[in-house]
Amino acid sequence: MCQKMTVINHTKNGFFLQCEKCKSYQVSFGNIYLELTAKELTHFQGFLAQLDPDHWEHVYCNCTIKRKIPIPTLQSNLQIMLNRAELEEFKNLLNVNATNAAALITAENVDYTVVLN
């Protein structure tokens, strides 16, 4: 287990960390937890960038499930299912399609109660 982690990004439902020693990545999003190498992260970000939510929502349009966008895993009978909002937050968490640091996190993603005195 990595001891010294650097926060790369975080959202309301997850965090994205890098180990300073071994340069591996840890991603936690909802009840999903991933440990990735740099190569695996690059491939996963590319997959998420090309994922077409419109296609999958059309494929599963007659299903009663709420989450209709699948992310396959190596286990053939296990898929991660997300809805469109979760997919966008997951992509933002992993900096997919981010053009600058200001685009990484917005005020809506900060879980903080504002108290005006």
Q: What does the pLDDT look like over 1-19, one tens digit per residue?
A: 677 889 999 999 999 999 9
Under 8 Å between Cβ of 97 and 90: no
User: Which residue segment(s) compose the domain that 101 sits in?
Assistant: 5-108
- Residue 117, domain member (yes or no): no
Write down the number of H helices and E strands in the chain: 3, 6
Q: Domains in the chain: how many in total?
A: 1
Q: Is the pTM of this model over 0.85?
A: no
Residues 6+ positions from 111 with CB-CB distance below 8 Å: 12
According to the model, what pLDDT value does residue 105 have? 54
Q: What does the pLDDT look like over 60-101, one tens digit per residue?
A: 999 999 999 999 998 999 999 999 999 999 999 998 876 444
C-alpha dist (Å) from residue 30 to 42, 100, 111, 114: 21, 25, 14, 24
Under 8 Å between Cβ of 53 and 82: no
